[in-house]
């Protein structure tokens, strides 16, 4: 290890990031030290800016730099469609497709009996409020195709009843996917949901 | 993508680190924003400290926080052995073993005809100076087992001639290695260098 505590401490802190381990943290820190003025200093400054300004949107739970995020503030996106996602990362993934033009609601996780996460630990009460007040015509449940995700989708669907149209993402073969590499569940879901060619 | 430029810019900067891409940078940034006071702010502060203090040791090329690094300053490590490595990362890897008790010299790369890197682009003249003045009894060439690494080792060995004992790291089967997964070159090197059991 290097002889100096500051650099060691930085490596240790970097190694705590998801996707990095001790070895890749060392590589990243050496890289940053070599590119001190081009990368290390701007990165440190940007982190401080983000630490000072990043916050959760009080309405949808997206992360942005104002109390109400740009999507919630955008009147043009108030088209009655509300996409429910588990996590901010899922919201960002949806946004990258540039296909969805409505609003979002981030739950902040899924119901989980094992982890003792009930509806009030998530942003489900806020979702019900929004659906009641924001003139929502369709709720799109874009939750992960995991057991917890689907349990959460069923719970929300039960709560909403027939008050609003509820849809979920289609399941099937991913674009570019090869059948041979897909799991059985995906193939049988795609077969059940087959459509005329 | 998120609606805010600061967060986007931070993701873009993180994605430039070795070992991180756009997806892992997004995950890391979301993680940091969620752990603002425990991780994001301390990390930003530490980066600024390192940016202010990290420097190359004027003697050996190690990265530390003073003009002469702790290893070069440690009189106890002046035992006549000098380990020559390509990169600071290699020096740190050697130090983690806690086996070598001598001093280091970091070349900062390897000779490379293709990239027009000659001896004076590396810290080879400084190495010759140190060997002449620091009472060195053995030079251990711990360069990578690549063509460029071995070319550099041969060049240094030629320059030093018989003035000092020159050794290199043993080549063979790595500890825990399975023969079936090793390349032919390693196996034949290990066979040539076989020793009595």
Residues 6+ apart with CB under 8 A from A37: none
Q: Please state, in angstroms and rounded to a whole number, the distance separating the CA atoms of residues B151 and B154.
A: 5
Report the percentage of chain B scoring pLDDT > 70.
Answer: 98
How many CB atoms within 10 Å of residue A45? 15
Residues 6+ apart with CB under 8 A from B87: B106, B107, B108, B109
A83: three-class secondary structure by DSSP: strand
| Pick among B16, B28, B41, B43 to test the A interface (most A CBs inside 10 A) | B43
What domains can you pick out in chain A, each with its CATH number? 5-53 (1.10.8.420), 79-168 (3.40.1360.10)
Q: CB contact, 8 Å: B52 with chain A?
A: no
pLDDT of A178: 84
Residues of chain B neighbouring A33 (CB-CB closer than 8 A):
50, 54, 63
Residue ranges of chain B with per-residue pLDDT less than 70: 1-4
User: A residues 126-185 near B, CB within 8 Å?
Assistant: none
Among chain B residues, the shortest Cα distance to A3 is held by B70
Q: CB contact, 8 Å: B46 with chain A?
A: yes
| ipTM above 0.85 for this complex | no
Tokens (6 digits) for B52: 């202010």
At A93, give phi and psi (nearest 5°).
Answer: -65, -45
User: Which value, in Å, is the radius of gyration of the alpha carbons in chain B?
Assistant: 21
Tokens (6 digits) for B95: 């130090």
Q: What is the pLDDT of residues A150-180, one digit of tens each?
A: 999 999 999 998 889 999 988 888 888 788 8
Among chain B residues, the shortest Cα distance to A21 is held by B19
pLDDT of A3: 43
Q: Please state, in angstroms and rounded to a whole number, the distance separating the CA atoms of residues B153 and B148.
A: 9
Q: CB contact, 8 Å: A70 with chain B?
A: yes
**Mean pLDDT along residues A6-32:** 93
**Mean pLDDT along residues A183-189:** 85
What are B106's strand-pairing partners?
Answer: B85
**What distance in Å separates residue B170's CA from the closest CA in chain A?**
22
CA angle A73, A140, A193 (to 5 degrees): 150
Residues of chain B neighbouring A13 (CB-CB closer than 8 A):
39, 42-43, 46
CB pair distance less than 8 Å for A64 and B4: yes
User: How far lies B39's CA from each of A6, B71, B115, in Å?
Assistant: 15, 30, 40
pLDDT of B4: 54
Q: What is the pLDDT of residues B95-145, one digit of tens each?
A: 988 899 999 999 999 999 888 999 989 999 999 999 999 989 999 999 998
Burial class (CB in 10 A: 0-12, 13-18, 19+), A132: exposed
Tokens (6 digits) for A18: 């998801």
> What is the residue-averaged pLDDT of chain A?
90
- Dihedral angle of Cα A57, A62, A65, A67, to the nearest 10 degrees: -10
CB pair distance less than 8 Å for B43 and A46: no
Q: Select the more confidently predicted residue: A57 or B189.
A: A57
Cβ atoms B85, B107 nearer than 8 A: yes
CA angle A107, A113, A118 (to 5 degrees): 40
Q: CB contact, 8 Å: A12 with chain B?
A: no
CB pair distance less than 8 Å for B3 and A62: yes
Among chain B residues, the shortest Cα distance to A88 is held by B30
pLDDT of B173: 86
Instruction: Assess whether pLDDT exceeds 80 at residue A1.
Output: no
At A121, give phi and psi (nearest 5°).
Answer: -75, -25
Q: Kindly indicate the confidence band of residue A5, based on its pLDDT and cuts at 50, 70 and 90.
A: confident
| DSSP codes joined into one string, A108-163 | SS--BTTTTB-GGGTTHHHHHHHHHHTT--EEEE---SSHHHHHHHHHHHHHHTTS
Cβ atoms B15, A12 nearer than 8 A: no
Residues of chain A neighbouring B64 (CB-CB closer than 8 A):
2-4, 7
Instruction: Assess whether pLDDT exceeds 80 at residue A4.
Output: no
**Mean pLDDT along residues A47-51:** 95
User: Of the given ranges (A44-48, A181-185, B31-35, B58-62), which has the lowest mean pLDDT?
Assistant: A181-185
Tokens (6 digits) for A94: 């949806």
The count of CB pairs under 8 A between chains A and B is: 170
């Amino acid at each position: 290890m290097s002889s100096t505590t500051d650099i060691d401490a930085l490596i240790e802190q970097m190694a705590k990031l998801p996707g990095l381990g001790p070895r890749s943290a060392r590589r990243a820190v050496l890289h940053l030290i070599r590119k001190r003025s081009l990368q290390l200093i701007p990165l440190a400054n940007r982190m401080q800016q983000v630490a000072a300004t990043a916050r959760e949107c009080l309405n949808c739970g997206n992360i942005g730099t104002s109390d109400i995020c740009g999507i919630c503030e955008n009147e043009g996106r108030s088209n009655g469609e509300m996409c429910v996602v588990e996590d901010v990362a899922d919201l960002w993934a949806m946004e990258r497709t540039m296909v969805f033009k409505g609003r979002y609601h981030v739950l902040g996780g899924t119901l989980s009996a094992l982890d003792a996460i009930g509806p009030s630990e998530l942003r489900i009460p806020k979702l019900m409020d929004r659906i009641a007040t924001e003139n929502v015509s369709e709720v799109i449940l874009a939750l992960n195709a995991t057991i917890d995700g689907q349990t959460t989708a069923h719970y929300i669907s039960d709560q909403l009843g027939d008050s609003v149209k509820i849809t979920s993402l289609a399941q099937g073969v991913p674009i570019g996917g090869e059948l041979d590499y897909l799991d059985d569940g995906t193939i049988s879901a795609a077969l059940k949901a087959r459509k005329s060619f």
